[in-house]
Amino acid sequence: MTRYATFLRAINVGGRTIKMDELKKLLAMPGFKNITSYIQSGNLAFDHAETNPGVLIAKIEAKLLKALGYEVKTFLKTRPELETVIKNNPFKDHPEDMALHVSFLSGVPSADATAQMLAFQNDFEQFRFIGSEAYILVKKGAYGETKFSNTFLEKKLKLHATTRNWATVNKMLDL
């Protein structure tokens, strides 16, 4: 069995609400075991024998589309992959007044797209791309005001994205 951390995009934002207990019930499909959730923003963990994340993503997205009536982009990480995300943190020694977030991307952005993004950085908003993650450093409490939102990243990188704060990323490793 493989343990997966699941990050769902657009859960409990923009008027689209669902209780985590209901979300866990929706994931209770054949093969999904030990389903747990963390806070109300679409963070789930589960065990499954399937080793192809694409198969699981397709199952989850189809089930959520049918049950909720709208598309929910799904991002999966195995425990070793999540450990790598944490280990690769390029902002390990960031100032205390800054907050770290990770955007999980649906693929690895092109070198041209990431190079163009450099123009948008400033002293209070910085980012680094490593693999299929964007590490975003912003002033504490200012993520809601940053230009590096999911929508901005998706438009500029031509990929899907969902973002979590650093504490949530680390907590998901413990689930």
Contact 97, 140 (CB under 8 A): yes
Predicted TM-score (pTM) of this structure: 0.93
- pLDDT for residue 169: 97
Residues 6+ apart with CB under 8 A from 119: none
pLDDT tens per residue across span 7-58: 999 887 777 788 889 999 999 999 999 999 998 888 999 999 999 999 999 9
Q: Which string of DSSP letters, residue by residue, matches 52-84?
A: -HHHHHHHHHHHHHHHHSS---EEEEEHHHHHH
User: Which domains are assigned to the chain?
Assistant: 2-81 (3.30.70.1280), 88-174 (3.30.70)
Model confidence over 81-110: pLDDT tens digits? 999 999 999 999 888 889 999 999 999 999
Nearest Cα neighbor of 14 from 150, 148, 105 is 150
Phi/psi-derived region of residue 19, left when phi > 0, alpha when psi is between -120 and 50, beta in every other case: beta
Please state, in angstroms and as integers, the Cα–Cα distance from residue 22 to each residue in 19, 29, 46, 94, 96, following that order. 5, 13, 15, 37, 37
For residue 138, what pLDDT is reported? 92
What integer is the mean pLDDT of 62-73? 93
Instruction: Give 172's contacts (C-beta < 8 A, 6+ positions apart).
Output: 5, 7, 38, 43, 45, 77, 82, 164
Q: What angle do CA 165, 137, 105 make, to 5 degrees?
A: 60
pLDDT band at 148 (very low <50, low <70, confident <90, very high): confident
Q: Report the alpha-carbon distance of residue 64 to residue 42 in Å, rounded.
A: 12
Per-residue pLDDT tens digits for 114-146: 998 888 998 889 999 999 999 999 988 777 778
